[in-house]
A and B are shown apart, each in its own frame.
Chain A
Amino acid sequence: MFKINPLLIVALIVTGSIAIWGIVDTENLAQWAAETIEVQFSSRAWFIMLTVSGLLIVSLFLAISKYGEIKLGADDDQPEFSTVSWLSMLFAAGMGVGLLYWGTAEPLTHYLAVSEVEDSRRAADAALFITNFHWGMHAWAIYALTGLVIAYFGFRLDCPNLVSAPLIRVYGKSTVTMVAGWLFDLMAIVAIAIGVGGSIAMGVFQIKGGIDVLMDVDSSGTSMSIAIFLVLCVAYTPPLLMDLSRGMAILSNTAMAIACGLMVFVLIAGPTQFIMGGIIGAIGEYVSQVVVHGFRTYTFMDERTANWFHEWTLTYMVWWLAWAPFVGVFIARISKGRTIREFLFGVIVVPTVFSIFWFGVFGSIGFYAALRTNLPILELVQKDASRVMFFVLEQFPASRLTISAVVAAAFLFLITSVVSAAFVLGMFSSSGSLNPSRAVKLGWGVILGALGLVMILSDSIAAIKSIIALGALPFVFVVTILVICLLRALAVDEAAAIDRSKP
């Protein structure tokens, strides 16, 4: 008999209502989200930065401590995937389309802001560092600890794959833990749905930028975006109805391969010495400043700097939190049999090194265009960030091929994100079942599409960021409690390990 899950109903009502509000009055939703998030950011910035830095410190502590030897699974479980394949999959899941969108645009955007107060050459270093900070260890520590909690409780303690499971397992079944756990699951669902909806819109804007360049048109308004969105909906529906987990891995690895190919192409075909210099400089900046920057709140700066901090650093951190339950579940699923140390170094350090190379290549090529040639790339950044990557590629040979490759990679990243997110949402809203029904997955596919459409209609990256930040903010509290549950459980696990080793 078909069993109705109250969590599924409430989650569908909450996310569906946001989608309907957004479709009926996009401007009103965007404005309300922007005002509300500004109030939250203005008064709680310190707490958000403290939380993300705390998560990184806890991750590093677990990785180097004796707890690092504990396995995610039974003591004799072996990893399911090779290390290279594992790293490739987790990176594609965590960053995806954002890398393509922001590769050149983000360092240049920060450069414009910083160069108003600093010397332009110093501003380029600072801009590259800030970008790497946003995409680096702090971001991955959020994913890593969320994934670690889900993997540890799921594989080692055999709990259901739910955000609420650690709380109920550690503190026992009581009215308080059941109600709090139910709210945790609901908050995770809302954060995922809105976060992935935002990524759909960003990806659609990126694809639109590419098609405009390829067809040599300048399609203003949202009609082209909506057309691309409809094609995307048609493309992601069949995988929702079939079990295509292996196919999804292939699509995701193909998108990653295209992205890596582009990076190598730009490095070799572009000003290699300039780019390598940028990468090495960025590594030094990152290592020397990352800890201090993690605690920076810009409290004593002027209002403009504070606004920039809210719009970028805080929004990014909350954006990673929005994706954390979704990416965490995915990373957990592919990490069974690894030790906590292996898991944390793999999830935090390796993707951060890749990000530094990625932004080193695409950021440096952007600075080369801005500082060494007279190309109007800085004007383009201000006008339309989604076209910056294509503008860069147009300066290289075989630009039609490389631009088509970016469009294809963005499309593949989007399909894999939506299908995986619909699966995770289906799982969360079906009591942690690893096989959510097709109807539930399709329902979530529709909701994700509707939320994506809302963000597309807003036609503004700033509005998208505000809506995502608002949807994900409650998850700051949830992640903190999950980490407490993990530490409590690990303490007992370690005690058990010592007991077993006694003769």
Chain B
Amino acid sequence: MSDVTDTMLNLWVFAFVALVIWLILKPAAGLKKTNTSSDNPQKHQ
């Protein structure tokens, strides 16, 4: 395997690591504080 291929493949991984860090820092738009007791009427909507 050439060094160029090796570098390219690893750049993809580094890009992925950057994505993971971004996902950790990004506001989670879909999450609200969760009330999960079984009597919560919103749970089954």
Using a CB–CB distance below 8 Å, which chain A residues touch chain B?
38-40, 42-44, 47, 71, 74-77, 156-158, 168-174, 477, 480-481, 484, 487-489, 492-493, 495-496, 499-500
**Contact A493-B28, Cβ < 8 Å, known A44-B9, A44-B10:** no
Q: Which of B19, B23, B33, B36 has the most CB of A within 10 A?
A: B36
**4 closest Cβ contacts across the A-B interface?**
A172-B29, A74-B38, A172-B30, A43-B9
Chain A positions within 8 Å of B28 at CB level = 170-172, 488-489, 492
A156 CB, nearest partner CB in chain B, Å: 5
Q: Which residues of B contact A496 (CB under 8 A)?
A: 33-36
B36–A75 CB distance below 8 A:
yes
- Are B32 and A492 in contact, with the CB atoms below 8 A? yes
Contact of B36 with A480 in the complex, beta carbons under 8 Å: no
Report yes or no: A43 in contact with B16, Cβ–Cβ below 8 A: no
Of the A-B pairs whose beta carbons lie under 8 Å apart in the complex, a sample of 12, sorted by A's number, is A38-B1, A43-B5, A43-B6, A74-B37, A76-B37, A156-B34, A157-B34, A173-B30, A481-B19, A488-B28, A492-B28, A496-B36
Partner of A489, one of B9, B23, B31, B44: B31
Residues in B lying within 8 Å of A, measured CB to CB: 1, 5-6, 9-10, 13, 16, 19-20, 23-24, 26, 28-38, 43-44
By a CB distance below 8 angstroms, the chain A residues around B20 are 480-481, 484
Check A168 against B34 for contact (C-beta < 8 Å): no
Residues on A with beta carbons closer than 8 Å to the beta carbon of B36: 71, 74-75, 156-157, 493, 496
| One of B23, B33, B43 near A74 (C-beta < 8 A) | B43
B18 to chain A, nearest CB (A): 13
The complex places the Cα of A100 from the Cα of B12 at a distance, in Å, of: 38
Q: A171 near B26 (CB under 8 angstroms)?
A: yes
Query: Is B1's CB under 8 angstroms from A43's CB?
Result: yes
Contacts of B33 in A (CB 8 A): 492, 495-496, 499
Q: Is the CB of B23 within 8 A of A484?
A: yes
For the A-B complex with A42-B1, A75-B37, A480-B20 known, give 6 more contacts whose Cβ atoms are closer than 8 Å.
Answer: A168-B30, A169-B30, A171-B29, A171-B30, A172-B30, A495-B33
Do A493 and B34 touch (CB < 8 A)? Answer: yes
Whether the pair B38, A77 counts as a contact (CB closer than 8 A) is: yes
Pick from B1, B32, B35: contact of A39, CB under 8 Å: B1
Q: How far is the CA of A168 from the CA of B28 in the complex (A)?
A: 10
Q: What separation, in Å, do the CA atoms of A71 and B37 have in the docked complex? A: 10
B16 touches A477 (CB 8 A): yes
Chain A residue numbers with a CB within 8 Å of B5 are 39, 43
Q: Once the chains are docked, how many angstroms separate the CA of A43 from the CA of B30?
A: 36
Chain B residue numbers with a CB within 8 Å of A488 are 24, 28, 31
Residues of A close to B23: CB separation below 8 A:
171, 481, 484
Chain B neighbourhood of A484, CB < 8 A: 20, 23-24
CB neighbours (8 Å) of B37 from chain A are 74-76, 500
Nearest A residue to B9 via CB reads: A43
Cα of A280 to Cα of B13 in the assembled complex, Å: 40
Supposing A173-B30, A488-B28 touch, asked if A76 and B38 sit within 8 A by C-beta, the answer is yes
Known: A75-B36, A77-B38. A44 touches B13 (CB 8 A): yes
- Nearest chain B CB to A161's CB is how many angstroms away? 16
**Bound-state Cα–Cα, A481 to B42, Å:** 27
Residue in chain A with minimal CB distance to B35: A496
Given known contacts A74-B43, A158-B43, A492 and B34 CB-to-CB distance under 8 angstroms: yes
Give every chain A residue within 8 A of B31 (Cβ-Cβ): 169-170, 488-489, 492
User: Nearest Cβ distance between residue B36 and chain A, in whole angstroms?
Assistant: 5
Contacts of B38 in A (CB 8 A): 74-77
Most buried by B among A43, A44, A489, A500: A43
A43–B10 CB distance below 8 A: yes
Question: In the bound complex, how far is the Cα of B36 from the Cα of A77, in angstroms?
Answer: 11
- Chain A residues whose C-beta falls within 8 Å of the C-beta of B32 in the assembled complex: 492
Nearest A-chain residue to B22, judged by Cβ: A484
Bound together, the chains give a CA A168 to CA B32 distance in angstroms of 13
Instruction: State in angstroms the CA–CA spacing of A74 and B36 once bound together.
Output: 5
Q: How far apart sit A323 and B16, CA to CA, in the bound complex (Å)? A: 22
Could you say which residues of chain B place their CB within 8 Å of the CB of A76?
A: 37-38
Known A-B contacts A76-B38, A157-B36, A477-B16; the reply to A42 vs B30 at CB < 8 A is: no
> In the assembly, what is the distance between CA of A71 and CA of B38, in Å?
12
CB distance from A57 to the nearest CB of B (A): 15
**B44 shortest CB reach to chain A, Å:** 7
Q: Cα distance A474–B44 when bound, in Å? A: 33
